[in-house]
Amino acid sequence: MLSYMSSRRSRPGAPPGDLVDPPPHQRIGSLSVYRMAFGGSGAAVSQAATTFDAALTVPADDDHPLLWLHFEGDVSAAELARLGERFTLHPLALEDVLNHGQRPKLDTYRQTLFATLALPHMVDDELVFQQVSLFIGEDFVLSFHAGTHDVFGAVRERIHAAHGRIAHAEPDYLGYCLADVVVDTSFEVLAGYNDHLEVLEDAIFENRRDDLVGPIHELRRRLIGMRKILLSQNELFVRWIGLEHPLIHADNRPYFRDVQDHARRVVDLADGYYETAGSLLDTHLSLASARLNDVMRVLTLIATIFMPLSFLAGIYGMNFDTHSPWNMPELSYRYGYPLLLGVMGALVVGMLVYFRRKQWI
């Protein structure tokens, strides 16, 4: 199956920007907050905050002008409201963070950029899309992951190692790095589908299994659903490249073109695997039809061979009075039975030779 994990939506008739905590059965898990300050002359400072308050109460540092807060798990409505006041975030964007299952999109506000991304993830052999939300401001980046695993740990390691541009970059470049992680995760998921296609192909040609229509159809359904979401994500990056906004630096546009190129390649891979799955389905049905034709051909040959034998056996199997002048004279012949068996054997051999010359067998 394919779905958004813990998809939520506002109640009908609710005012725009209304923040209401979801019911207990839609909650994901406990909240983990990661705080990182970097970008200036000092080394990066980070902490995995044990509480939400710890991430907000740390004072600003001139040596680390860029603040990145990452929220993993469930963020409550009250916590989002506090974030909105602290960073001047639009209530509609905060509502989208709380209500998971948003399509990939990019919204622009006067002081911030807001993006929602779809992160593919396999949970118990089920493909789910977990929502990743990003706020990009003048001196901060807020990221929210509606999941239970630390998806951006590698980015923090790069910042700590001061590896490359990221340790001294602008907020929009950090946003690019986070978006790139989301897009590249799709390659890993699609690699798993490629392996699945190879297994199905082996089952079709080597094991000659006849129960593969369901698994192939399910795989095609997942791929077409994944393609729709990834295509929306590609359109998001296309818009991001051409966006004119004070928070988008010209020097960083090539990086957004790079992540858009990755997003386009992911869509192309999903298209290719979908077509491959369709070809496997056609091949499977063709092979099944060919096997059925082989069976029917053998049964037809057997029936054809036995037709004259049944005719002869039927005639000579009729019991009449052997003393009647109208009776078959062969019934009284001493060697009639072996002669009839010889005629039947000759018919079988003659028909098999004929079928062989016609290349029917």
pLDDT in tens, 185-227: 999 889 888 888 888 888 888 766 667 888 888 888 889 989 9
Is the pLDDT assigned to residue 326 strictly greater than 70? Answer: no
Q: Who contacts 136 (Cβ-Cβ below 8 Å, separation ≥6)?
A: 112, 113, 114, 115, 171, 172, 174, 175, 247
Percent of the chain beyond pLDDT 70?
Answer: 82
Q: Who contacts 234 (Cβ-Cβ below 8 Å, separation ≥6)?
A: 260, 263, 264, 266, 267
Residue 299 has a pLDDT of 80
Q: Read off the DSSP letter of residue 16.
A: T
Q: Who contacts 304 (Cβ-Cβ below 8 Å, separation ≥6)?
A: 351
User: What Å distances lie between residue 353 and 293, 311, 341, CA to CA?
Assistant: 21, 20, 18
List phi, psi (to 5°) of 272. -65, -40
Residue 230 has a pLDDT of 93
Q: How confident is the model at residue 8 (pLDDT cuts 50, 70, 90)?
A: low
Per-position b or e across 170-179, b if 16+ CB within 10 A of its CB: bbbbbbbbbb
- Quick one: how far is CA 118 from the chain centroid? 12
pLDDT in tens, 256-295: 999 999 999 999 999 999 999 988 888 888 888 877 887 7
From 10-14, 66-70, 155-159, 253-257, the region with the lowest mean pLDDT: 10-14
326/245: higher pLDDT: 245
**pLDDT, average across residues 248-256:** 90
Q: How confident is the model at residue 178 (pLDDT cuts 50, 70, 90)?
A: very high
Contact 177, 105 (CB under 8 A): no
Sign of the Cα torsion 24, 26, 31, 35 reads: negative
Q: Where are the alpha helices (DSSP H) in the chain?
A: 52-57, 77-87, 91-98, 153-160, 171-202, 213-241, 253-316, 336-357
Q: Quick count: other Cβ atoms within 10 Å of Cβ 7? A: 15
List phi, psi (to 5°) of 64. -135, 75
Residue 4 has a pLDDT of 53
Residue 202 has a pLDDT of 84
The DSSP result for 192-252, as a single string, is: HHHHHHHHHHHIIIII--S--HHHHHHHHHHHHHHHHHHHHHHHHHHHHHT---TTS-GGG
210/85: higher pLDDT: 85
Strand pairing class (126-136; 140-145): antiparallel
Element (H, E) at 74: none
Distance CA 72, CA 152 (A): 10
Q: Where are the alpha helices (DSSP H) in 46-170?
A: 52-57, 77-87, 91-98, 153-160
CA angle 85, 87, 91 (to 5 degrees): 60
Q: Who contacts 250 (Cβ-Cβ below 8 Å, separation ≥6)?
A: none
pLDDT in tens, 131-141: 999 999 998 99
Residue 111 CB-half CA count within 13 A: 9
Distance CA 343, CA 34 (A): 92
Residue 23 has a pLDDT of 66
**pLDDT, average across residues 181-186:** 93
* pTM (global) more than 0.95: no
